[in-house]
Copies of this chain bind each other. A is one copy, B any other.
Amino acid sequence: MPDTPPEPLSVDAGNPRPRSATIKDVARLAGLSPITVSRVLNNPAAVRPETIARVREAIAQTGYIPNLLAGSLVSGRSRLVAAIIPRLSNSMLVDFVQGLSDQLEARGYQLLLGLSGYPVEQEEKLLPAILSRRPDGVVLSGTDHSDETRQILQAAGIPIVETWDLTANPVDMVVGLSQEEVGAAMARFLLGKGRRRFGMIWACDKRARKRYDGAMAVLRAQGIELVPTVEVSKFPTMGLGRLGLSELLAGGEAFDAVMCSSDTLAQGVLTEAAARGISVPQQLAVMGFGDFDFSEHTMPPLSTIRVDKRRIGVLAANALLARMDGGQPAQRVIDVGFEIVERGTT
């Protein structure tokens, strides 16, 4: 990059990317045919050790880097897996993607990241662009997809995993947990602690909504009908949690428990409660969802629902891998479950 030698006058000074070494260059240098080089790379077991050495040498000399575009085109396998998720900033998804990527990379696959944004329908726009790279598998976040999306995906004829939720009718496979069950478990848990006057601070997001419905069903079964609820944006922050509690309190009702759709919100509630001198858990129980890194260090430590976020990614990768490597289809529906973590706020 430093001092490029002055080029001889040329009409077009544009630099046509210097053609990089191809399999032929390597073959010529090694005095072998291209196919032999190819075999060294893809199926070394079928080549004599000496030959391998010769090829390796030639590869090193030429700095050859195989062109997977060409390879994939003819082999029909791209070793690429696409993940389509709305955005990374959803803290649940970060660990998930990390698990996915780790597992995939270990098996020689790579991750094409499609950040579709909200609303979910955006996913439909991204899909053709993604599919045009001929991934060997696709991972989707959530189970709510447009008919169009489902159809295109089916037609692609590759393994698909939906994640985070559960459904009896997956596009292909699904790895997740029952969101309704989570909500129900939260409600039951708090009820068991003797709480009766509930407030909810909830993000308006489809999966969160299911947890909400699950909780409300349990509450209603107990004859608890009036449950003041503050809806906040899809992107929960501590600030929104604080605001949420303020709004709830402004309603004039008395509460003995606040459920939040995420730990981030719950942390905000804790902060606002402290600022107002409301003692947690004595006067108010608080419960979140997610068990984020900070959750055991809030004051008091936050009671929440733990989901193994990374594991969802790992299992999704495995489900794909099983099919892509031609193994038998894994289970179509995998429930990773969840766990109530009782700490100091309940």
Chain B residues near A1 (CB, 8 Å)?
154, 171-172
Contact indicator A274/B299 (Cβ below 8 Å):
yes
Contact indicator B297/A294 (Cβ below 8 Å):
no
Chain-B contact segment, one of A123-131, A213-221, A338-346:
A123-131
A336 to B: closest C-beta gap in Å: 19
Q: Can you report 8 A-B residue pairs in the complex whose CB atoms are below 8 A from each other?
A: A1-B172, A20-B156, A20-B157, A69-B69, A69-B72, A110-B112, A238-B293, A274-B299
The count of chain A contact residues (Cβ–Cβ below 8 Å) is 69
Contact indicator A97/B88 (Cβ below 8 Å):
yes
A window 123-158: CB within 8 A of B: 126, 128-134, 152, 154-158
A residues sitting closer than 8 Å to B (CB atoms) are: 1, 14-15, 17-18, 20, 63, 65-70, 72-73, 76, 78, 80, 87-89, 94-95, 97-98, 101-102, 105, 108, 110-115, 117, 126, 128-134, 152, 154-158, 171-172, 237-239, 242, 264, 267-268, 271, 274-275, 293-294, 296-299, 326
Contact indicator B128/A102 (Cβ below 8 Å):
no
CA distance A126 to B72 in the complex (A): 18
Copies of this chain present in the complex amount to 2
CA distance A1 to B68 in the complex (A): 30
Q: Which of B111, B115, B132 contacts A102 (CB 8 A)?
A: B115
Contact indicator A238/B294 (Cβ below 8 Å):
yes
Contact indicator B113/A112 (Cβ below 8 Å):
yes
User: Contacts A1-B172, A68-B134 given; 17 further ones with Cβ under 8 A?
Assistant: A1-B154, A14-B326, A15-B157, A63-B155, A65-B132, A67-B73, A69-B72, A70-B73, A87-B98, A88-B94, A101-B115, A102-B115, A108-B129, A111-B115, A112-B113, A237-B293, A274-B299
Chain B residues near A128 (CB, 8 Å)?
65
Contact indicator A110/B114 (Cβ below 8 Å):
yes
Chain B residues near A101 (CB, 8 Å)?
113, 115
Using known A-B contacts A98-B115, A105-B115, A157-B17, determine if residue A133 contacts B69 with beta carbons closer than 8 Å: yes
Chain B residues near A14 (CB, 8 Å)?
326
A95 to B: closest C-beta gap in Å: 7
CA distance A79 to B171 in the complex (A): 28
Chain B residues near A298 (CB, 8 Å)?
271
Contact indicator A297/B242 (Cβ below 8 Å):
yes
Q: Which of B18, B155, B267 contacts A294 (CB 8 A)?
A: B267
Using known A-B contacts A68-B134, A94-B89, determine if residue A275 contacts B299 with beta carbons closer than 8 Å: yes
Contact indicator B112/A130 (Cβ below 8 Å):
no
CA distance A76 to B18 in the complex (A): 11
Chain B residues near A264 (CB, 8 Å)?
293-294
